[in-house]
């Protein structure tokens, strides 16, 4: 199922603010239950999956505050190349 373009754009804008010198690539997960990004910055690759479950009731303007509340960018920097998954409960590591 295709994801809401405005929601995807809101995530991309958050990532662009938090990683201004990075290249962001969206990718499709086989289960199609999340919006996924690789963030490439200074030779490092960060992986972010935002699960549909935490986006279903949100409007696009609510996405950035949710990501900020969960400290997503800082968690990604702290964890490094291990995938970060955003769920209703916050950030988890690896697969949900």
The strand pairing partners of 51, in sequence order, are 34
pLDDT at residue 96 greater than cutoff 60: no
Contacts 24+ apart (CB under 8 A), 7-10: 7/35, 7/55, 7/58, 7/60, 7/63, 8/35, 9/60, 10/60, 10/61, 10/63, 10/64
pLDDT for residue 72: 96
Q: Measured between alpha carbons, how far is 38 from 88 in angstroms, rounded to an integer?
A: 21
94 confidence band (pLDDT: 50, 70, 90): confident
Taking only the tens place, the pLDDT of each residue in 8-43 is: 999 999 999 999 999 999 998 888 899 999 999 999
* Number of structural domains found in the chain: 1
pLDDT in tens, 38-59: 999 999 999 999 999 999 889 9
* Residue 81 pLDDT class (50, 70, 90 cuts): confident
Q: For residue 62, give its domain range.
A: 5-93
pLDDT at 40: 96
Q: Say if residues 41 and 22 touch (Cβ distance below 8 Å).
A: yes
The answer to whether residues 61 and 27 touch, using CB atoms and an 8 Å cutoff, is no
């Amino acid at each position: 199922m295709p994801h809401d373009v405005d929601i995807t754009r809101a995530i991309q804008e958050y990532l662009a603010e938090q990683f201004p010198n990075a290249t962001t690539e969206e990718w499709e997960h086989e289960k199609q239950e999340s919006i996924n990004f690789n963030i490439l910055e200074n030779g490092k690759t960060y992986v972010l999956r935002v699960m549909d479950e935490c986006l279903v009731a949100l409007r696009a303007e609510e996405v950035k505050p949710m990501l900020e509340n969960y400290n997503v960018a800082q968690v990604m920097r702290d964890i490094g190349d291990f995938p970060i998954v955003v769920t209703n409960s916050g950030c988890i590591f690896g697969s949900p």
